[in-house]
Structure 1
Amino acid sequence: MARVIYNTASTLNGFLADEQDSLSWLFAVGGGEAPDTEAFLRGMGAIVMGSTTYEWILRQERILEQRGRWQELGYMASLPAFVFTTRSLPAPEGADVRFVRGAVADALPEVVRAAGEKDVWVMGGGDLAGQFLDARALDEVQVSVAPVTLPGGRPLLPRRVESDTLELRSAERFGQFVHLTYGVRRAAGG
């Protein structure tokens, strides 16, 4: 069965994006090294994201302005993308983007079915990852922590999560980043 993995980058004090939903802080970090993104993507069968993340990708990559741009995103563009939203949003021509309304638990069977034998990447945001955690559907948290702090913004995981829920599996240095991998422990009976 597919695992559900939340993989993202965060500031040292736990923010994914600043108050304007910008990731400029992330792209300013030097160091050049990174976890093997291509190997990670090869293991994914579907992507899930919230509407803020989706709209950021559309803007950042100028998807709607350039015909065929979504397909140029590489391996990620070949995967079905599930966007959790309460609003009507545009879909790029030729992209397998599926808009989802409602609870994560209700959408999970379709997401897992779309992933096939591969895993599901919860790309963002933090609240959506928290919803997967609340639904007992999150299997792993991977976060690359940057040497940056922000006074506020979008939190990594806006939930209270105790140490009995997450188990550190690995910590690796990649240039200026520390990549942490945590397994999510299920409560008894879960």
Structure 2
Amino acid sequence: MTTGTITLYIAISVDGFIADDDGDVEWLEEFESTRERESEGEGESGYDAFFAEIDALVMGANTYEQVRSFGAWPYEDRPTYVLTHDDTEPVVDSVETVEFVDEPVADLALRLRDQYASIWLVGGAQVARAFLETRQLDQLQLTIAPILLGGGIRLFGTNGPRNRLTLEKTTSLESGLVELRYAIQE
């Protein structure tokens, strides 16, 4: 049986941050409409092409709350697993396809790989680090935004495991965004 692939697909500043100190990603808004326009007709690049291949999503509770604050659920009917250690029940208006889980990352990854071919690790930083530390991440797909935040929530932290990467694809957009896809070597 083929096991699923887990990909971290995320936007990041040139200096390595995914959000400001308050967890805000408002700094990305100036790039979003340009990115969508530039990605149209790009074949395999861009969010729409990536999302079309996704069978399931994984995210942390903070990322879930942030996505819910944006309004309508953007992930259609894709099964979404939210890692949480909180005993509180999800909000009443939660999406039917969302399952809150409290299990070790390695166990969750194994279960999802058995069920789905393509799994998107949405974020946040703590969840991404946990998947890296347990060697449960297969690909990094980073969209580098041409901005230096100078501080905030760092994607990889400072004490993570060493991982060798193989560059699979690079796409440069006129906006200055650069999309990089890496395979993570074992």
Quote the Cα distance in structure 2 between the aligned partners of 1:143 and 1:123.
11
Q: Answer whether contact 1:81 1:98 (CA < 8 A) is retained.
A: yes
Q: Which residue of structure 2 aligns with residue 23 of structure 1?
A: 25
Label 1:16 to 1:60 Cα distance change in 2 as closer, same or farther (>3 A): same
Q: Which residue of structure 2 aligns with residue 37 of structure 1?
A: 47
Structure 1 unaligned residues grouped into runs of 5+: 62-68
Q: Which residue of structure 2 aligns with residue 147 of structure 1?
A: 146
| Correspondence for 1:54 among 47, 58, 64 | 64
Quote the Cα distance in structure 1 between the aligned partners of 2:179 and 2:93.
32
Identity %: 28
TM-score of the aligned structures, taking structure 2 as reference length: 0.84
Label 1:178 to 1:94 Cα distance change in 2 as closer, same or farther (>3 A): closer
Q: Give the aligned length.
A: 172
Q: Which residue of structure 1 aligns with residue 42 of structure 2?
A: none
Runs of 4+ more than 3 Å apart: 91-94, 159-162
Provide, for residues 86-114 of structure 1, a one-character-per-residue CA deviation record: whole Å limited to 9, x for no partner. Answer: 12232645521111113101212332244
Label 1:28 to 1:161 Cα distance change in 2 as closer, same or farther (>3 A): farther
TM-score of the aligned structures, taking structure 1 as reference length: 0.82
Q: Which residue of structure 1 aligns with residue 168 of structure 2?
A: 169
Q: CA RMSD in A?
A: 1.9
Q: Answer whether contact 1:45 1:114 (CA < 8 A) is retained.
A: no
